[in-house]
Each structure stands twice: as structure tokens, then as C-alpha cells.
Amino acid sequence: MTDLLQPKAIGQARVRRDGLDKVSGKARYANEAPIANPAYCHLVQADIARGQVTTIDFTDAEAMPGVLAVLTHGNGERLSSTKDKELAVLQTGDIAFRGQIVGVVIAESPEAARQAAELVHVEYSQEPHDVSLSADRDDLYKPEKVNPSFDTDTSTGDVDAAMNSAEATVTATYTTAMYHNNPMEPHATTALWSDGDLIVWDSTQGVHAVRSTLAKVFGLHKEQVRVVCPYVGGGFGSKGMPHAHVVAAAMAARALPGRPVKLALTRQQMFSLVGYRTPTIQRVRLAADRAGRLSAIALDVVEQTSRIKEFAEQTAVATRMMYAAPNRATSHRLAALDVPVPSWMRAPGECPGMFGPEVAMDELAEHLGIDPVELRIRNEPDRDPETGNPFSSRNLVACLRDGAERFGWADRDPRPGVRRDGDWLVGTGVASSVYPTYRMPQSEATIRFENGRYVAEIGAADLGTGTWTTLPQIAADALGVPLDQVDVRIGDTEYPIASVAGGSSGTSTWGSAIVEAANAFRDKYGSDPEDGDEAQGQVPEYQAKKRYALYAFGAQFAEVRVHADTGEIRVPRMLGVFAAGRIVNPRTARSQLIGGMTMGMSMALYENSVLDPRTGHVVNHDFAEYHIATCADAANVEAYWVDEHDPHVNPMGSKGIGEIGIVGTAAAIANAAHHATGVRVRDLPVTLDKVL
């Protein structure tokens, strides 16, 4: 048990402290680093998916006015560590995926660099490539662990036997597409070397992670690298760890001693260089009695990774703890393809992994004639089925009931394909949502009294989530002082080490460190500090995770309308109710939740990276063809939460909310589309050709 803070500032719907600077253009992003006389670089990318570079002719490029240098694997510097093959930029001529960096052009202007990059002539010896994922490949392998360190397979009881003796079963295969992270601000890095030390302004979810990675790659002490990033225009996981372009920018800057170099990726380049969500193939098996009580639940997943670096999405982990069923099994198998390296994208694991099972639950509900809300309630476990630990708090049922009430679920006619409003077929659907409550092991904060104000310093990130606004709320309550006397400083490795803004763990982790620092400060100086007084704190060990299952839950409801003639699909209404502990700032929290739900709608209906098997190229690599839900698509998205008092998670009583909003949305929409049309779509996205 943790003593929860007395909430005074916590719980207030505060506006973003950085909001005005962001919308008025005062906030400086990575590509706007305040430095004089920068050079600019542009990347040259492989246009084969597998083979070797044989020759690179850059005489034309170098001859262009304004071009300063062209780096290739022939003349680029040797890195100290090439262990991470994704980051081993220009170290060999081997090509492992289309779009890989094969050259860097540095010039006086971004336009010159880009034009010169077109004039770099690369020849290859090409090898046959393979980018096609399927569940019947004979080279599928079992990774040792799945992201970040979950067991690859689990098995309890006997799923086959339960399937054979069950009164009702569902066996079906579902697929989710390849998705690319598309934050509004493309990835950008500005780099400058001076006296052998490196400073980078990088658009990142974690300045300290970028620092330690660059130090390793370039063979420097951490103290020789400074990373600055006060503002981020979104990341969704793609800025959670540095990708190859960050190394390329630092290499380019080293080639021009004393001169800063800027590298901004184009939207199109982001489709090969900054990660993506692997496509998944999910075989789901459910067994139940006539009353809908599950006797078995199983999820077997096939997904892809790259040949040069493994990323194993933990797609099946949520199935391990979601519902009570005595017989359970999960597995992950990977195909290592000639594709870019997959990585984190908002709720890796839970987001794709709740699609198949939550549609399967809908299929089971229909089969048994049980309301899908009720079916989920009947399978509510009283402990974590996997570990046997109690949940620190679990309010899925409250979310389902409250959501059903708010959405107007009670009078729902369960029959699919029978409601019409003019030319539109109308349906509603539901799905559950879950996300673990993580706290990272390493983060520190300093609190100082300065010019009559309290200042908390921590190298945390605000990737649009609200950190600038919520950390002062936590610090104010921990110090027992008014919120308007508290400032924070984040986004710079000059401030104490902080974990990456990932796994929805930021507020929980950094907030815990700030509370420790505040406690130390009050112990030392009481409530009447003097200028210059300061104290440190670090995040305590997360003891609760040994004794409790720690998760946030949610229930997602959607209304879908499908045009009877054209198959056009609209989602006029989405409603989510979440149980995520105490909400630190209702205003920024609501924004996180409806943002997640909107991204889930985007996944359900629009997003789909189309990988051409002939070239290994994502052909729809821009916003004209990679469709993302717009404001007009997200007509009415509502997020609510139930009061939840959880003394086990952290002193704020808060659970992470950055990712849970996207979990379950696609299933709720697919279920609603089935209810509207009677057509069961098991392969995302749900598009008109599939429902007609």
C-alpha cells in the first residue's frame, strides 16, 4: 500500500502550459534548434530489398553548387558499436530492406541536399527477396521472448480437450494490417560536435535513451553527449528509441567539424526508417458452455520481424489475463523477412492482440444468443488467471455497465443486418480494452527552490501527452504548495535521468520520482525553504508488481453505418469508459483517450500499409494514400472514466492512459459493422469491398 497524495492540484482540468507556445510557433522543435549556420542533409535510400551495393557514383552530386559532402559506406566513419544492425549506418554495402540508408548528402540548403541525393547513382547486385508473411511458411521461428521480455508461449490446462467437449466453440483466424506511425511532426535531428562532444536536438520520447544509445554507437562517455528535446509533435512509439537517421545526422555533423547539421525525414522516408506495427495473423479458439462461461481461450499469433534485428510484438499477452478460463494457451511465431525493422506503435501487443479475441467474443455471443456485454461480465476473473495474483484494481465490469448505460445499449436488438435508416444499415458493437500499469525502474528528479518558486527538473518527455502540465500538478501536491508556485523543466539530458515516454509509464514513473524528491525536500527544509535549497529523489522499486496484477481497463462502444448500395462505412459515434486509477488532469487525459480511440478507428477503417511483394516497398507511403482518420471521420468520440481508488500503483493512484484508448476500438467497430450488415469481417481494415 502506498500513501496516496491528497489531491488538490491533481484532478484539476488544467490547460496545457505549453499550449500557447506550441500554437503560436514559439515552441522550438528538433528541426528548429537555435543554432547558427547549419548545414542540411538528405538521405539516399536503397531501392532494392536485398543484395549488396556494388558501386556508388556521387560525382554529379558533389559537383552541384552548395553540396558539402556525400557519405557512403565507402567513406563514412567506422562506428564503435555495430551490434544494433538497425543503427549500423553506412558500415557495409549489405542491403537488408528497401529504403535502407545507403548515402547521406550534406549541403548548404535542404533543397540542394535533396536534389543532390537524386544525383547519387547506386548500383547493386540484387538477391531475391521475400517480404510475404503467411501462417504456413515453413521458416517460422519461436523467438526467445516477446517485447520486452514476456514468455513467448504459455499453456495451462488442455485447450484441445476443452474445445472437444465444449457446448459452443469459436475457431477463427483474424488479421491486422501493417501500420505506420505517423506523428504530425516527422522525425528530425540536429547534431553538432564540438571538442569531441556531441549535442543533438532530436525529436524523441526519451532524451536519456538517445544519449546512451549514441554514446555506445560512437564510443563516447555518456557525459559527452547531450540530447535536447523540449517539445515533440507526437511519436506513438516511433520516437521511443533512436532510429538510423539519428546516427546518420550525427555522422554527417562529424564530417563537418564545428558545424551543426540538420536532418529532417520526409513523410515518405518515415515509411522505411522509423519502425511500424507488424502485421499479425491471429488464430483464436474459444470454448464455452451454454451460459457463455469460457472453458478455454487460446491465441496463436504469426507476425513478422526484419532479418537484421528482431522485434517480436507481444500480441498474445493480453489473452493470458483478460478472462477467466481454466484452459488457456498462447503462442508467438515470427517470420524474419527482408523488411524494415518493426517496432513500437501505440499499445504494441495489446492493440493488435485484442482485435482477434474481442471479435471472437462477439462471434461467441451471437452464437449463444447472449448479449456481448453480458458475455464479458460472465467471464470476469476474480484473480489474474495467469499468475493467480489479485488485481490491484479491476473495474472492467463497471466500465462495461457504465458504458452500456451512457451509450444506450439496453434496447439493442441483437439481430444483425436488420436496422435501416434510409439507405444506411445501422449497427452497434462493443469490445473490452486493457493496458498494463507499468512503472520503469530508473528515473530521478531534483526539486529546487529558486527565486521564490519550486522547480522540478527531470529529463522526461512531453510528446503531446501533457507532461509539462501534469508533472507540476503532482509536484505541487507532493510539496503541499499551490500549483502556481511550481515549474518543471524536462526534455534535456542536463536534467536527471528519466525513463522513456513509453508503455504509458511516464506519469507513473516520473511522478513517483518527483514525489520522492518532494518528500526529501520537505524533510530537509520544511515548508519555509530558502533560495537554492534542493533535494533529489528516485523512483522506488515497484514492489506492488510482485503481489498484484496491475492493469487499466476499458469498454469501447461504437455505432457503425454502412451504406446499403456503396458499402461506405461511417462511425457516427464512439464511446469509451475507462478505469485508469486517479486521473491527474481530466483535460489532458480526455485528449489522450479520445486520441487513442480515434487512432483505433483509423486502424479499423483506413490504415493499411501495402507492401508490394515484387519490390519490398510500401507503395502507399504518404498521406494521399495511407489514409488516417480525420476530424470529419471522428464525428463524435466520447471518453469517460469511472472513479478508481488504487493504493497499490503509485502515490498519485494513477494508471497510464496514453495507450489504452486504442485498445479494443477496432474490434468494437468490426463488431458494429457485423451488427449493421451481417457480414463478419475478420481482416482489418474493414473496407467497403469486404462488407458489400
Only segment of 206-214, 226-234, 341-349, 569-577 that touches ligand MOS (CB under 6 A):
341-349
Q: Which is nearer to ligand MOS, 276 or 323 (CB)?
A: 276
Residues 571-610 that bind ligand MOS (CB under 6 A): none
Site string for ligand MOS, 178-207 (x = CB under 6 A): ---------------------------x--
Rounded to whole angstroms, how far apart are CA atoms 371 and 386? Answer: 26
How far apart are CB 205 and ligand MOS at their closest, in Å?
6
Only segment of 48-56, 245-253, 342-350, 683-691 that touches ligand MOS (CB under 6 A):
342-350
Q: Give just the sign of the alpha carbon dihedral 289, 294, 295, 297.
A: positive
Residues 463-522 that bind ligand MOS (CB under 6 A): 502-503
Q: Which is nearer to ligand MOS, 292 or 503 (CB)?
A: 503
How far apart are CB 209 and ligand MOS at their closest, in Å?
11
Q: Are 577 and 430 in contact (CB under 8 A)?
A: no
Q: Which is nearer to ligand MOS, 348 or 600 (CB)?
A: 348
How far apart are CB 505 and ligand MOS at their closest, in Å?
8
The CA-based dihedral angle spanning residues 610, 616, 620, 626, taken in that order and rounded to the nearest 10 degrees: 50
The amino acid at residue 74 is G
For cell 547549419, name the residue.
Answer: 38
Q: From the list 97, 271, 344, 510, which residue makes contact with ligand MOS (rule: CB under 6 A)?
A: 344
How far apart are CB 75 and ligand MOS at their closest, in Å?
35
Q: Which is nearer to ligand MOS, 67 or 345 (CB)?
A: 345
Binding to ligand MOS by residue 434, rule CB under 6 A?
A: no
How far apart are CB 604 and ligand MOS at their closest, in Å?
18
Contacts for 376 with CB less than 8 Å, ≥ 6 apart:
323, 361, 396, 400, 430, 432
Q: What would the grid cell of residue 692 be?
A: 458489400
- CA 329 vs. chain centroid, Å, equals 26
- CA 554 vs. chain centroid, Å, equals 18
Binding to ligand MOS by residue 240, rule CB under 6 A?
A: yes
How far apart are CB 414 and ligand MOS at their closest, in Å?
35
Residues 347-406 that bind ligand MOS (CB under 6 A): 348
- CA 437 vs. chain centroid, Å, equals 15
Q: What would the grid cell of residue 139 be?
A: 521458416
- CA 552 vs. chain centroid, Å, equals 16
Q: Give just the sign of the alpha carbon dihedral 401, 402, 405, 408.
A: negative
C-alpha distances in Å from residue 660, one per residue of 433, 596, 678: 7, 7, 28
Residues with active-site annotation: 659
The amino acid at residue 667 is A
DSSP 30: G
Only segment of 343-351, 583-591, 622-630, 677-685 that touches ligand MOS (CB under 6 A):
343-351
Position with the least CB separation from ligand MOS: 237
Q: Which is nearer to ligand MOS, 520 or 666 (CB)?
A: 666
Q: Which is nearer to ligand MOS, 503 or 529 (CB)?
A: 503
How far apart are CB 237 and ligand MOS at their closest, in Å?
3
Q: Which is nearer to ligand MOS, 237 or 279 (CB)?
A: 237
**H or E element that contains 342:** none
Only segment of 114-122, 246-254, 294-302, 344-352 that touches ligand MOS (CB under 6 A):
344-352
Only segment of 122-130, 259-267, 339-347, 375-383 that touches ligand MOS (CB under 6 A):
339-347
Binding to ligand MOS by residue 237, rule CB under 6 A?
A: yes
Q: Which is nearer to ligand MOS, 372 or 503 (CB)?
A: 503
Q: SS3 helix, strand, coil % of the chain, rounded to 5?
A: 25, 25, 45
Q: Are 204 and 256 in contact (CB under 8 A)?
A: no
Contacts for 630 with CB less than 8 Å, ≥ 6 apart:
none
Q: Which is nearer to ligand MOS, 348 or 472 (CB)?
A: 348
Q: From the list 285, 333, 346, 690, which residue makes contact with ligand MOS (rule: CB under 6 A)?
A: 346
Query: Could you please report the per-residue DSSP string of 210-265?
Result: HHHHHHHHHT--GGGEEEE-S--S--TTTTSS--HHHHHHHHHHHHSTT--EEEE-
| Number of chain residues interacting with ligand MOS (CB under 6 A) | 9
Only segment of 57-65, 147-155, 338-346, 581-589 that touches ligand MOS (CB under 6 A):
338-346
How far apart are CB 343 and ligand MOS at their closest, in Å?
8
Query: What would the 3-class secondary structure string for 253-280 be?
Result: HHHCCCCCEEEECCHHHHHHHCCCECCE
How far apart are CB 55 and ligand MOS at their closest, in Å?
39
Packing angle of the helix pair 355-368, 665-677 (nearest 10 deg): 40
Site string for ligand MOS, 135-164 (x = CB under 6 A): ------------------------------
Residues that bind ligand MOS (CB under 6 A): 205, 237, 240, 344-346, 348, 502-503
